[in-house]
Amino acid sequence: MSQQNLAGFIWSVADLLRGDFKRSEFGRIILPFTLVRRLECVLEPTRKAVLERHNVIRDKALDQDLILPRVSGQRFYNISRYRLSNLGEGETRANLEDYVSKLSANAREVFDNFNFDTWLDRLASANLLYLVVQKFATIDLHPDAVSNHEMGLVFEELIRRFAEASNETAGEHFTPRDVVRLATTLVFAPTGRF
């Protein structure tokens, strides 16, 4: 699936939000949920090993932030027993909070910057949280399916769509690739060629 098609599929989750949220708010929900899913997919291959190691060291005076990233093979980790696919319909909010709170501090900080708790409140109040979680649980963002470069392009496309939905001035948050190519061609073209 191309980055634009994947971004379009992710953005289609916004169809669930229509009526309860403004178009300008869609990105504030879609972007952090996309990130949650990407982190989950990246951590999946080492998830069991991280949980096992955590169980061994949790009662010891050891710094988990030094040990668990080595086990996960990433700079971050998650020690929650939950996945997006098993948060449950009745306790979705509490289980998702557990999921995010048990990310390593460096990953959790990103969700703090998104004010994720506020959006979870609003989704739960609108009875949409479980539906949104289930939609994102089906999206394959594993690095074998979507490379880091491709994931960057997906985020770029989502941010562009978010800016458009917010009626931002064109180009305020996104510079189209064609403009970047033209600018670099002009900068690096031999003198007198244009």
Q: What does the buried/exposed string (b/e) look like for 161-170 if buried means 16 or more CB atoms within 10 Å of the residue's CB?
A: bbbebbeeee
Residue 181 pLDDT > 70: no
Domain ranges of the chain: 3-188
Integer CA distances (angstroms), 72 to 15, 109, 161, in order:
35, 18, 33
72-93: average pLDDT? 92
**Which pLDDT score, from 0 to 100, does residue 130 have?**
95
Of 65-69, 73-77, 179-183, which range is least confident?
Answer: 179-183
Per-residue pLDDT reduced to its tens digit, 14-30: 889 999 999 889 889 99
184 pLDDT tier (thresholds 50, 70, 90): low
On average, the pLDDT of the chain sits at 85
136 pLDDT tier (thresholds 50, 70, 90): very high
- Kindly write down the DSSP assignment for every residue of 147-173, as one continuous string: -HHHHHHHHHHHHHHHHHHTTPPTTSS
**Which pLDDT score, from 0 to 100, does residue 15 have?**
87
More confident residue, 135 or 178: 135
90-104: average pLDDT? 93
| Burial group, residue 56, by CB count within 10 angstroms (0-12, 13-18, 19+) | exposed
Per-residue pLDDT reduced to its tens digit, 103-115: 999 999 999 988 9
In contact, 132 and 29? CB cutoff 8 Å? yes
More confident residue, 177 or 61: 61
Query: Please, what is the Cα angle at 133 between 140 and 51, to 5 degrees?
Result: 70
**Which pLDDT score, from 0 to 100, does residue 194 have?**
44
66-80: average pLDDT? 94
